[in-house]
């Protein structure tokens, strides 16, 4: 054990607390990521969804490693994750609208 912190204690040296917060934040945002990734891949385009997923993973790694070093160094990764989630949300929305229009109105958006 690197920091000698016994469970269930979640306080300790600053590096441990930043690591713990980064881990918790990653867990909290993972469910949103999975939902928009799958919807984007199913309803819009698998390649675009994979690209958005890759951006998310790279951004999450940048966020996590930056946060462990110093709180302010998490921002580039945070913005990349935010852009990836926004991209996946937009493609998922376009895919759902396109699916609705195609099925019920016999028209194509794109």
What would the pLDDT profile of 23-65 be if each residue is shown by its tens digit?
999 999 999 999 999 999 999 999 999 999 999 999 999 999 9
- Assigned CATH topology for domain 16-97: 1.20.120
Encode 51-98 in three state secondary structure.
HHHHHHHHHHHHHHHHHHHCHHHHHHHHHHHHHHHHHHHHHHHHHHHH
What would the pLDDT profile of 62-96 be if each residue is shown by its tens digit?
999 999 999 899 999 999 999 999 999 999 999 99
Radius of gyration, CA atoms only, the chain: 18
Domain positions in the chain: 16-97
Specify the pLDDT at position 109: 74
Of 80, 92, 90, 74, residue with least CA distance to 25? 74
Q: What is the pTM of this model?
A: 0.87
- Exposed (0-12), middle (13-18) or buried (19+): which is 54, by Cβ within 10 Å? exposed
């Amino acid at each position: 054990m690197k920091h000698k912190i016994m469970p269930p204690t979640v306080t300790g040296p600053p590096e441990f607390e930043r690591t713990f917060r980064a881990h918790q934040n990653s867990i909290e945002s993972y469910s949103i990521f999975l939902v928009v990734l799958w919807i984007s891949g199913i309803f819009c385009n698998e390649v675009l969804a994979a690209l958005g997923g890759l951006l998310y993973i790279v951004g999450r790694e940048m966020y996590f490693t930056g946060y462990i070093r110093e709180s302010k160094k998490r921002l580039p990764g945070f913005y990349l994750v935010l852009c990836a989630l926004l991209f996946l949300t937009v493609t998922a929305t376009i895919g759902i609208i396109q699916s609705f229009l195609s099925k019920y109105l016999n028209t194509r958006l794109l």
